[in-house]
Chains A and B, each alone.
Chain A
Amino acid sequence: MSVLGQYLFNGLMLGVIYAMVAVGFTLFFGVLDVIKFSHGDVLMVGAFAGLAASLGVMHLGVESAAVQLLAVVLAALCVTGLLGALIARFLILPLRKAPPLNTLLATLMLGTVLREAVRLFYPDGSNPKPFPALLPSATLDLGGLSLRSDSLIILCAGVAVIVGVHLLITRTRLGMAIRAVAQDGETARLMGINFDAVVLLTFALGSGMAALAGVMNGLYYNEINFNIGLLLGVIGFAAAILGGLGNLYGAILGGFLFAGLQVLGSAALPALIPDIPSAYRDVFAFAVVIVLMAWKPTGLIAEKSSERV
Chain B
Amino acid sequence: MRLKHTLAATVLGLAGLASASPALAKDVVKIAFVGPLTGGVSAIGLGGRNSADLAVRLRNADPASKYEYQLVTLDDECRPNIGVQVATKVSTDKSIVAGVTHFCSAVAMGTVGVYHRFGLPVVVWGAVLPEITYGNDYKEVHRVNGTMINQNQVAAEFMAGQGYKTWAIIHDTTDYGKGHNKYFSEFIAKHGGKVLGTFGVTADQQDFTTELTRIRELKPDVLYFGGLTPLGVRIRTQMEKLGIPAQFEGTSGIMSDAYIQGVGAQTAEGSLAFIEGAPLEKLPGGQFFSEQYAKNKYGEPAEAYGPFAFAAANLIMDAVEKVGPDRAKVRDLLNATSDADTIIGKVTFDDHRQNVVPLVTKYVVDGGKWTIWEDSSYAKGDKKLAGK
Residues of A in contact with B (beta carbons under 8 Å apart): 3, 6-7, 10, 13-14, 116, 119, 124, 126-130, 139, 146, 148, 151, 220-223, 225, 227-228, 231-232, 262-263, 266-267, 270, 277-279, 281-282
Contacts and interface: CB of A to CB of B under 8 A. Distances in A.
B243 A127 contact: no
Given A227-B40, A278-B201, A10 B206 contact: no
Nearest to B203: A279
Contacts of A6: 213, 216, 242
B234 interface: yes
Contacts of B242: 6, 146
A3 B213 CA distance: 7
A82 B210 CA distance: 36
Nearest to B213: A6
Contact of A279 (B43, B201, B216): B201
Contacts of A228: 206
Contacts of A281: 210
Contact of B173 (A151, A223, A266, A279): A279
Given A10-B209, A127-B261, A146-B243, A225 B202 contact: no
25 contacts: A3-B214, A6-B242, A116-B38, A127-B42, A127-B43, A127-B229, A127-B261, A128-B234, A130-B261, A130-B263, A148-B241, A151-B241, A221-B206, A222-B237, A223-B237, A227-B39, A227-B204, A228-B206, A231-B204, A262-B210, A277-B173, A277-B199, A278-B210, A279-B172, A279-B201
B241 A14 contact: no
Contacts of B216: 6
A232 B262 CA distance: 20
Contacts of B311: none
Given A221-B234, A225-B230, A277-B200, 9 more contacts: A10-B213, A124-B261, A126-B42, A127-B262, A220-B241, A227-B40, A267-B210, A267-B213, A277-B199
Q: How many B residues touch the partner, as a band? A: 35 or more
Contacts of B213: 3, 6-7, 10, 267
Top 10 closest A-B pairs, CB basis?
Answer: A277-B200, A128-B262, A266-B210, A10-B209, A126-B42, A127-B258, A130-B264, A279-B173, A279-B202, A6-B213
B137 to A, nearest CB: 32
Contacts of B199: 270, 277-278
Nearest to A271: B214
Nearest to A228: B206
B332 interface: no
A3 B243 contact: no
A124 B172 CA distance: 24
Which of B43, B237, B238 has the most chain A CB atoms closer than 10 A to its own CB?
B237
B214 A267 contact: yes
Which of A7, A228, A262, A279 has the most chain B CB atoms closer than 10 A to its own CB?
A279
B39 A278 contact: no
A282 B201 CA distance: 10
A44 to B, nearest CB: 12
Which of B205, B206, B234, B238 has the most chain A CB atoms closer than 10 A to its own CB?
B206
B322 to A, nearest CB: 37
Contacts of A277: 173, 198-201
Nearest to A17: B207
A234 to B, nearest CB: 12
A231 B210 contact: no
Nearest to A151: B241
Which of A127, A270, A282 has the most chain B CB atoms closer than 10 A to its own CB?
A127
Nearest to A5: B213
B62 interface: no
Interface of B: 38-40, 42-43, 46, 172-173, 198-202, 204-207, 209-211, 213-214, 216-217, 229-230, 233-234, 237-238, 241-243, 258, 261-264, 300
A7 B173 contact: no
A128 B210 CA distance: 21
Contacts of A279: 172-173, 200-202, 205
A278 B214 CA distance: 11
A119 B205 CA distance: 19
A128 B229 contact: yes
Contacts of B211: 266, 278
Nearest to A119: B38
Nearest to A230: B204
B168 to A, nearest CB: 13
A128 B206 contact: no
Given A6-B213, A223-B233, A128 B258 contact: yes
Nearest to B260: A130
A282 B237 CA distance: 21
A221 B238 contact: yes
B145 to A, nearest CB: 21
B200 A126 contact: no
A113 to B, nearest CB: 14
A151 B240 CA distance: 13
B210 A10 contact: yes
Contacts of A225: 40, 230
Contacts of A139: 243
A200 B175 CA distance: 47
Contacts of A270: 199
Contacts of A223: 233-234, 237, 262-263
A130 B210 CA distance: 21
B303 to A, nearest CB: 10
Nearest to A10: B209
A146 B198 CA distance: 23
Nearest to A266: B210
A209 B206 CA distance: 20
B40 A128 contact: yes
B243 A278 contact: no
Contacts of A7: 210, 213
A102 B264 CA distance: 43
Contacts of A126: 38-40, 42-43, 46
A232 B207 CA distance: 11
